[in-house]
A and B are shown apart, each in its own frame.
Chain A
Amino acid sequence: MSKKQGKVALSILLAGSLFAAVGCSSQSSGTDAGTGNNSAPKTGGTLSISLDADPPKLDPAFSTALVDRMVFQSIYDKLVDVNENGEVVPMLAEKWDVSPDQKSYTFTLREGVKFHDGTDFNAEAVKFSLERGMDKASNRKNELNDIEKITVADAKTIKIDLKQPFAPFLSILSDRAGMIVSPEAVKKYGDEFLNHPVGTGPFVYKERQKGSSITLEKNPNYWQKGLPYLDSVTYKIMNDANVALMNLKSGQVDITNKFPYKEIENVKNDPKISVVNEPGQGYQGIHLNTSKAPFDNKELRRAVDLMIDRDAIVKVVLSGAGSAAHSPFSKSQFAYGDSDKVEQPNVEKAKELLKKAGKENGFSFTLKLGTSPTNQQVGQMIQNMLKPAGITVNLEKVEFGTMLEQSKTGNFEAVSLGWSGRPDPDQNIYDFATKGGSNNYAQYYNPEVDRVLKEARQEGDQAKRKAGYDAAMKILNDETPYVYLYHDHNVFGVSKSVQGFTYYPDGLIRTASISKN
């Protein structure tokens, strides 16, 4: 018996020690970080930003990943930038004129700007960078396709002629396509330039440890006087959002570029951390393959669209870090409006549509989706939402690379694939809904949509453009080649010791104006 008693005692002891450990860990820490008062920005210090992936290519002409653009904001300047409201504002170009026929842009460049390698920024450098982006090997070729000719008038004036009017042009120059690289450095490093990036930005590339960190140092000759405030910026690669949050909590990271949705509520009253949760420019949704059964039938596509409760998805899966969508335009874009209004799920109406399509007893389809937990949860919710209408969804997990290829070759019935978004509405819709568009995986074609969208990209007047997008969305929301689900939010965790963090609708962190207490 005594042996048995010993065992009991031991287990009590162990259980006790476990409780003690848990008890310790739930004690809140007493230290309080400086509260974010709006005192004068402090200079110096190092800012650590966690990124969810290692930026593959630090060269704007060849960049393919969203995460590259995060680091680019510190290394490169662009001809123009976007402000907090998503409007185009001057950057390396002080001002510009657009010809009345909308086909020619003349930029007046800022003087006295130098690249990190000491060479001069001038019109030749702009021409060099743009032409580099227009090269067939470049990933910017598509964006700069409409440029016909680039003429250097003098050192500070450059004229760009377009083949046809192209309204998104300026906003495209506010991203990678408009980033100016040092021609000397490109000549010096060639293919290796992406490992030795040289721009005019507020920070200078110092070193990187692949898979671990990228370190940048202050550009002492930055053209914006007094900026940047920080001595250096370190990007740390942390693949897992929870790990990044732990690092934010322990003070090793000042800003995280991703935030675990479920934790947003939990850190609301945290004295050291604030959460920035703002709509981005992208969207998530499902391409329905209109070239083959079952979704060659418009009624069936509409029925699927009608049965999905977007608000439930946003609430359950995203914990509020998103907003229900019915168009590719989010709040920060001028094309946003009634087209984004979501219809409430309606079983009767959906059943009617099925009947009209001759599928009274329902139908089934396979939905291909990515492997992340968010994708899985969204998929399962949709599966359940479609059930009442008699629609059976088979979920098939597909790794991203495979999914991309299958989407491009039309090897799917429905595929869940979103878009990170761009400032100009054209870039969120044109290639997705027009014939032969590079992202028109649904293989959808409607001559009227093609015509309206083409007009909208050539029109200079914003109100007229918006009317065009409204007209296109009216047709698209009726024909539903793509089921819009929600607009992603950009969620950042920001330490309260960080000052001057401003949210931009492109979701990129501008480090020049950030300081740290």
Chain B
Amino acid sequence: MRFLVRRLLLAVPVILLVTIMVFSLLHLLPGDPATVILGQEATPEAIDAMREELGLNQPIVMQYLKWLGGVLQGDLGRSLVDHSPVSELIWQRLPATLELTIGTFVVALLIAIPAGILSATRPNSWIDYTSTFFALGGMSVPHFWLGMMFIVFFAVKLGWLPASGYVPFTENPLANITAMIMPVLATGLRESAILMRMLRSSLLEVMHADYIRTAYAKGHKESFVIFRHALKNALVPVVTTSGLIVAGLLGGLVITESIFSIPGFGKLIVESIYNRDFVTVQGAILVCALMVVMVNLLVDILYAVIDPRIKVGKEAEQ
């Protein structure tokens, strides 16, 4: 518990620093938000009026503090483009991205764990070569290309799945799932390749350790040795990578979201940057930073569960 509290407290300065960086970087961007929002035909008077309305004439520190004050009261502000509350925009976009992230990760694990174990326990066999082949392929093939190929094949030629679009799960679960199959596969295959290679190499290393030989010498079956002794130790680097992958996916699925027309979080951030919708970008990145901190915390807890030698909390402090 103390560990958790300490970690959460540590996250506060991290997030604060992120907000300061995002805020100042956005304001360093060339391209005045008022000009971008009003477009090519805007008159100088209209731009001035807009700058005033957006509070852009105030000193940047004041603008930041004002925004931070709002955030502390749970108010992320209103979008500069369509005046809707930023929290509402984020809330609308988050489910699609969360679903995509979880789906991608599940696909990645479902492929990576069996393939990784098989190829590590039978190095240089045909299984190993095949999975290495696909892993290399998976890593080299850009997922937007794979996504397009999926659309061509499954949606246009076969007509099995919708080419793109998103239906919220609460509205129509079946349509939601059919719409998510291709995007989840396209990104999942790539991530599975990374995880599979990771698991293979760490498992191979562990399999050569003395205690594994001892376990075999005690007469245990191979499956018992692998699952009981080897896998747990081999999983530590995999969990680390998984944490990085999930954290990256949460804000970085913009290409998949674009190809499959999914109104996700990554697209929200990119669109808002193009529109110079600073308020929305700040809010979205804050939420993103929070999610990354949570994922990292989860990874730390998982370490302890998987490998009791890694201790967190009280014992670790001794």
The reply to whether A246 and B271 form a contact with Cβ atoms under 8 Å apart is no
Please determine whether A439 and B41 come into contact, CB atoms closer than 8 angstroms: yes
Give B260 Cβ to nearest chain A Cβ, in Å: 8
* 1/0 contact string of B142-176 vs chain A (CB within 8 Å): 00000010011101110100111110100000000
Given contacts A64-B37, A399-B31, contact A210 B164 (CB under 8 A): no
Residues of A within 8 A of B240 (CB): none
A142: interface (CB < 8 Å): yes
What are 18 A-B residue pairs whose CB atoms fall within 8 Å in the complex?
A: A7-B129, A10-B130, A21-B153, A25-B152, A64-B42, A137-B50, A139-B39, A210-B93, A237-B261, A243-B164, A249-B156, A250-B162, A252-B162, A252-B164, A401-B31, A402-B30, A404-B36, A438-B43
Give a binary string over A72-112; 1 marks a CB under 8 Å from any B CB, 0 the rest.
Answer: 00000000000000000000000000000000000000000
Chain A contacts of B42 at CB under 8 A?
64, 139, 142, 438
Residues on B with beta carbons closer than 8 Å to the beta carbon of A405? 30-32, 35-36
**Quick check: B31 and A404 within 8 Å, CB to CB?**
yes
| Stretch of A146-154, A191-199, A342-350, A493-501 with 4 or more beta carbons under 8 angstroms from chain B | A191-199
Q: Is the CB of B46 within 8 A of A141?
A: yes
Evaluate contact between A65 and B39: CB separation under 8 angstroms.
yes
Give the nearest-CB partner of A136 in chain B: B49
What total of chain B residues lie within 8 Å of the partner, measured CB to CB?
A: 57
Question: B268 interface residue, CB < 8 Å from A?
Answer: yes
Q: Which residues of A contact B (CB under 8 A)?
A: 6-7, 10, 14, 21, 24-25, 27, 29, 54, 56-57, 64-65, 136-137, 139, 141-142, 191-192, 194-195, 209-213, 236-240, 242-243, 246-247, 249-252, 399-406, 408, 417, 419, 431, 438-439
Q: Count CB-based A-B contacts (< 8 Å).
A: 156
B82 lies within 8 A of A194 (CB): yes
B interface with A by C-beta (< 8 Å)? 29-32, 35-46, 49-50, 53, 81-84, 89, 92-93, 126, 129-130, 133, 148, 151-153, 155-157, 159, 162-166, 168, 258-264, 267-268, 271, 274-276
Residues of B within 8 A of A29 (CB): 156-157, 159
User: Which residue of chain A has the shortest Cβ distance to B80 in the bound complex?
Assistant: A56
Given known A-B contacts A399-B31, A404-B31, A404-B35, A211 and B267 have beta carbons under 8 A apart? yes
Leading 7 A-B pairs by shortest Cβ distance: A211-B263, A401-B31, A212-B263, A401-B36, A64-B39, A402-B31, A402-B30
Task: Looking at the assembled complex, report how far the CB atom of B138 sits from the nearest CB atom of chain A, in whole angstroms.
Answer: 14
Q: How far is the CB of B253 from chain A (nearest CB, A)?
A: 13
| Residues in B whose Cβ lies below 8 Å from that of A419 | 40
* A213 contacts across to B, CB distance below 8 A: 165
In Å, the complex CA distance between A24 and B153 comes to 8
Q: Say whether A243 contacts B151, CB under 8 Å.
A: yes
Given contacts A239-B258, A431-B41, 16 further A-B contacts (CB under 8 A): A25-B153, A57-B82, A64-B39, A139-B38, A209-B263, A212-B262, A212-B263, A243-B260, A246-B163, A250-B155, A251-B159, A399-B274, A401-B29, A438-B42, A439-B40, A439-B41
A195 to B89, CA, bound (A): 12
Whether A195 and B126, one on each chain, are in contact in the complex, defined by CB atoms closer than 8 angstroms, is no
Residues of B contacting A251 with CB < 8 Å? Answer: 159
User: Within the assembled complex, what's the spacing in Å between the Cα atoms of A316 and B35?
Assistant: 33
Most buried by A among B49, B83, B84, B259: B83
